[in-house]
Structure formats: structure tokens, C-alpha cells
């Protein structure tokens, strides 16, 4: 959960950030977590944890009507215990990313991680099948060594989708989203960039990741896709004095396309409801 700083009007945009309140107002935002990762850099004593928050469609906050922004995008947040971390649009993103101190970004914040004390590690296919059919809570972790930086990366995520061939003892997880760190973005204290992906595993020693990327649309689609409905997120206070680079690009559809295959150490964890 985080609390915003008191709201201040933007110099150019009428609805900056989508907030539709009054000058000086503040608000809280609470969201659940969808996944986490940890990165142990060889130059660091302790791994850095990074969490992925649940998303929302771009919205006007806090509004009585016309709550969804059209054109619509997706907002989500990645953060460590101390910093907000940039989420790259795709693997093609060559920027160094960003790391914003949570104490600077928000008036206040809390990170509340719930854990289970009675957890069982499933070491073979039959026990995975048994736990799944018993409706146990299913979590997984996947660890791999980044060859370029020698970082040890551990992804942790709930198993939202489990596929079973119970008769032959086969299982396959296909789930997401997860966050994958750009280990090259390490700045000596933080990872400053992560990627959004889904993950698939069907063995204890291999994983596959499929990464998100925005795609362009045909011109005839752009005509309706980019047409505002109701408020326009890009509406200016004074159309005669636009900011540099106006107008910024509208949101684009997201697809999952680029795949990594990695040697990994996968662990299936279960707990009783």
C-alpha cells in the first residue's frame, strides 16, 4: 500500500497521472502481489528482492463516472524493498532503467508479505499430481545462473495454471506474469530494470519464458484505437503552449512473443488451504 503526496496541478496536462481530484488531496493505493524475484549479484552480500504488483487498466482516479481511460493501457508496478524499478516494454529496450526511492515517490508505504509455515516440497511427478488433485495451494520457484553477469536469479510465482496427465505422471505449469530482471542493469545496489513474462515448466531442470512486447496496429485500427472517449488523458490546460514532444504516443496492444529457454532448478511447493 502507498499513500500519495498531496496532489499538485501539472504545468501542462489537465489529468496528469489520471487523477481527477482537487489540489492538495491525497489518496491511498493497495494492491496484491503477483510474483517476485531475487537477484544475487557476485559483488553483493545479500540478494535484492523485487516484487510485481497486480495491474489495473489505466483509469481516472478517484472518479465517479468515466473511470476507464480510452485509449486504454495497463499500469503495474515493480519494486524492491526500497525502490520502484522500471518495467521495460520489451527485450529490445536498451535503456539502463530506473530506480526511484520509495520514500521520495510516496508520502508513505508498506510492504506486507504473507508466508506459509507448513510447506511441502514436491520432489516427483506423482506427489505433484496428488497435491494438485487435492486442491492444495501451489507455488513454484525457478532459479538460474545468468551467464553474462554470473548473477543467481530466483523467480517465485503462484501456479495459476497446472496441466496434468495423471495416468502417466506428467505435469506442466504454464502461468504468469512473472518478472525477469535485466541483470545488466545492476547499479551496485539495485536492479533498475525488469521484463514482464510468462513461464512454462514441465521438469525440474528446464524453464521457458515468453516475454511481452507492444505491437503497432494498422492505420485503419489506429483511427478508433487512439480516439479518446470522455476525458482525454492528454488534454492540455493551454493547447497553445504544449510541452516538448507533444503529443506522446498512445498505448499499444501487448503480445507475448520472444522466448528464452534456460537450464534451471525448479521447485514445486504446496501448502494446505
> 128 near 255, Cβ under 8 Å?
no
> 102 near 1, Cβ under 8 Å?
no
Q: What is the mean pLDDT of residues 176-200?
A: 96
Q: What is the mean pLDDT of residues 91-98?
A: 94
Q: What is the mean pLDDT of residues 216-229?
A: 94
Measure the CA angle with vertex 237, ends 216 and 11; round to 5°.
90
How far is it, in rounded angstroms, from Cα 142 to Cα 120? 16
C-alpha cell at 115: 508466508
All residues at 6 or more sequence positions from 91 whose CB lies less than 8 Å from its CB, including other chains: 195, 211, 213, 258
> 71 near 250, Cβ under 8 Å?
yes
Please report the pLDDT score of residue 252 as a whole number.
96
Please report the pLDDT score of residue 117 as a whole number.
85
Please report the pLDDT score of residue 273 as a whole number.
82
C-alpha cell at 232: 482525454
Percent over 90 (pLDDT), the chain: 94
Alpha helices by DSSP H, 135-254: 219-225
C-alpha cell at 130: 496428488
How far is it, in rounded angstroms, from Cα 58 to Cα 139? 29
Q: Could you tell me the pLDDT band of residue 184, with boundaries at 50, 70 and 90?
A: very high
Dihedral pair phi/psi, residue 199, rounded to 5°: -130, 145
pLDDT at 253 over 90: yes
For the beta carbon of residue 123, count every other beta carbon within 10 angstroms.
11
Q: Hey, where are the domains in the chain?
A: 2-111+118-271
Q: Cα 212 from chain centroid?
A: 11
pLDDT tens digits, 104-147 = 999 999 999 988 889 999 999 999 999 999 999 999 999 999 99
Please report the pLDDT score of residue 34 as a whole number.
96
Amino acid at each position: 500500500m502507498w499513500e500519495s503526496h498531496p496532489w499538485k496541478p501539472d504545468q501542462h496536462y489537465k489529468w496528469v497521472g489520471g487523477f481527477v481530484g482537487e489540489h492538495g488531496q491525497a489518496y491511498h493505493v493497495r494492491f496484491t502481489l503477483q510474483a517476485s524475484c531475487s537477484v544475487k549479484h557476485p559483488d553483493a552480500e545479500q540478494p535484492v528482492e523485487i516484487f510485481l504488483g497486480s495491474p489495473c487498466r489505466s483509469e481516472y482516479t478517484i472518479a465517479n463516472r468515466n473511470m476507464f481511460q480510452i485509449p486504454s493501457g495497463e499500469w503495474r508496478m515493480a519494486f524492491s524493498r526500497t525502490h520502484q524499478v522500471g518495467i521495460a516494454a520489451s527485450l529490445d529496450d536498451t535503456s539502463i532503467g530506473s530506480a526511484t526511492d520509495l520514500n521520495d515517490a510516496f508520502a508513505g508505504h508498506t510492504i506486507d508479505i504473507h508466508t506459509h509455515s507448513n510447506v511441502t516440497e514436491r520432489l516427483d511427478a506423482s506427489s505433484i499430481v496428488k497435491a494438485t488433485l487435492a486442491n492444495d495451494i501451489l507455488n513454484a520457484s525457478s532459479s538460474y545462473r545468468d551467464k553474462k553477469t554470473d548473477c543467481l536469479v530466483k523467480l517465485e510465482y503462484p501456479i495459476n495454471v497446472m496441466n496434468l496427465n495423471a495416468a502417466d505422471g506428467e505435469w506442466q505449469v504454464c502461468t504468469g506474469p512473472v518478472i525477469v530482471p535485466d541483470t545488466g542493469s545492476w547499479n551496485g545496489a539495485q536492479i533498475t530494470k525488469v521484463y514482464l513474462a510468462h513461464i512454462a515448466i514441465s521438469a525440474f531442470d528446464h524453464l521457458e519464458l515468453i516475454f511481452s512486447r507492444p505491437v503497432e496496429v494498422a492505420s485503419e485500427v489506429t483511427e478508433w484505437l487512439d480516439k479518446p472517449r470522455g476525458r482525454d488523458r492528454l488534454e492540455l490546460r493551454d493547447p497553445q503552449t504544449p510541452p516538448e514532444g507533444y503529443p506522446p504516443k498512445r498505448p499499444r496492444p501487448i503480445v507475448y512473443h520472444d522466448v528464452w529457454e534456460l537450464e534451471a532448478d525448479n521447485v514445486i511447493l504446496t501448502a494446505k488451504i
